[in-house]
Structure formats: C-alpha cells, structure tokens
C-alpha cells in the first residue's frame, strides 16, 4: 500500500486551532492514512519531548482518548467546552504557530516530515503547542468522521497504544518510527484486509 497524507495545524490563538488535511487516497485507505498520520505524530511528539512531565501529560491524554473523543463530539452537538483547545474553520490567514506534517508510506516503509513554524531557535512554547497540536489532529479527525463509530474506535485504540508504549518506556529517538506499525496493527485491524497493509 502506498499513500501520501499531509496536515497543517495553525494556532490562531493559544486555544484556537485550525487543521487542514489532504491525502491522495480515499475510502478505507484514507481512513487508515488518517490514523497512521495521527499515530506517527503522537509517537514523534512524545519522542521529541523525551522523558518529561510534558510527555507524561500528552501520553495520559492519549490514554484517555475515549473521553477526549466524547468531549469533541459533545462540542459538535452543541455542548460548550468547559476549557481547552477549540478547533475552528481556517479563517483565511496562517496562525502564529504552525506545524506542517507530511507522511509518505510505501509498503512497510515510511517517511515522515514535521516542520515547526513560529517558535524561533529556542523553540519557545513548544512544551504547550506541541502536545496541543497532537490533540488538534485527533479533534479534527473526530469532526470529519463524527458519524463513523468504527473509525473513532480505531483512532482511540491507536492513541491508547501510543500511550502504553510511552509508559512502558519503549519510545525513544532511535525506536519511535518502528513502533508505529505495531500501533497501527493494534488499532486498525479492520482496515488491514481491505487496504493490503505491507504490500
């Protein structure tokens, strides 16, 4: 299976973000690509943050992904969020802080590029915006697939597996890319026969 998927996460205010997604596949292949992107990004962010309170916090949020997804869906149904990140439509201009993601997968190989824009040489603010950008991708996928319960279940299970690997101390700079495929096999078994994972 081959695909390319990219995302741009714009923070227009500290707790307001827009997320653009685009891929070159459709159907179940696109669903799988979206979960793959979210998984690669979650593992990469945890890896980049290293062993820290911030990486523990993002892993804890992913561990509780079912509650996160329920809260995002409640907002769509008109329930005002108590606090935290809000996903908005793109307002026509880029955010002050941006993350640009591009993932190309072919067979069992992958190339994943991440650009961080607006943080300066010292990456000021990355401890907040990095984890928030991971949650922004999850929230955007919930918006897009709000009526697809099987997709949301796979998304949640993949996020929980990312969290499990962190707390097992399996995520490191030298291992994070290899861990994504076990994450996907744990969370996306329903898509594997139809998309031909590994081919």
Q: Which residue has the higher pLDDT, 173 or 7?
A: 7
**What is the rounded average pLDDT for all residues in the chain?**
85
pLDDT at 190: 72
pLDDT tens, position by position, 29-79: 999 999 999 999 999 999 888 888 888 988 988 988 888 788 877 766 545
What is the enclosing helix (H) or strand (E) of 139? helix 126-144
DSSP-assigned letter for residue 169: T
Tokens matching residue 169:
């101390």
8 Å CB contact between 154 and 187? yes
78 burial type by CB count under 10 A (0-12 exposed, 13-18 middle, 19+ buried): exposed
**What is the CB neighbour count within 10 angstroms for residue 126?**
19
- What are the domain boundaries of the chain? 2-195
């Amino acid at each position: 299976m081959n695909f390319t998927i990219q995302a741009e996460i714009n923070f227009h205010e500290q707790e307001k973000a827009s997320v653009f997604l685009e891929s070159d596949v459709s159907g179940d292949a696109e669903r799988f690509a979206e979960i793959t992107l979210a998984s690669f990004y979650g593992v990469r962010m945890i890896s980049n943050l290293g062993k820290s309170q911030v990486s523990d916090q993002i892993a804890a949020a992913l561990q509780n992904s079912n509650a996160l997804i329920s809260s995002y869906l409640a907002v769509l149904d008109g329930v005002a969020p108590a606090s935290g990140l809000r996903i908005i439509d793109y307002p026509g201009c880029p955010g002050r802080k941006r993350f640009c993601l591009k993932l190309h997968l072919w067979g069992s190989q992958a190339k994943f590029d991440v650009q961080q824009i607006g943080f300066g040489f010292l990456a000021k603010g990355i401890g907040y915006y990095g984890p928030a950008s991971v949650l922004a991708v999850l929230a955007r996928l919930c918006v897009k697939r709000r009526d697809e319960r099987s997709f949301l279940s796979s998304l949640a299970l993949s996020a929980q597996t990312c969290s499990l690997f962190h707390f097992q101390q399996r995520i490191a700079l030298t291992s994070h890319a290899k861990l994504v495929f076990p994450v996907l096999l744990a969370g996306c078994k329903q898509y594997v026969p139809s998309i031909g994972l590994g081919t």
